[in-house]
Amino acid sequence: MQVPSNIIVGKVKYPGIYICAAMAVWGMISACMAAVQSYTGLVLARFFIGFVEAVFFPGALYYMSLFYSRKQYAFRVAVLYSGS
């Protein structure tokens, strides 16, 4: 799902809002996993988390590229990658 997410984040007027909304949905789905009582429900919840999780890393890289020079960007990406 990273490829469709990259297409969307490039066309959205405010990519920061798109990324934040995806992270909010990620949190809601994660919280809803507490109510799951079957294996099928757990698999479905994990499937939908995968959809919104795909937004974060490529979206964060794109968003950082809007603000930093090439040298600064490389350092920031290294910190982001190390943290994850």
What's the domain range around 46? 2-83
Contact of 55 with 5, CB cutoff 8 Å: yes
Residue 38 reports pLDDT greater than 90: yes
Helical packing angle, 15-32 and 2-11, nearest 10°: 140
The 10 Å Cβ neighbour count of residue 58 is 17
Model pTM score: 0.75
pLDDT value at residue 14: 87
- Rounded to an integer, what distance in angstroms lies between the CA atom of residue 24 and that of residue 40? 23
Residue 59 reports pLDDT greater than 90: no
- Those residues with Cβ within 8 angstroms of residue 54's Cβ, 6 or more apart along the chain or in another chain: 1, 2, 5
Number of domains in the chain: 1
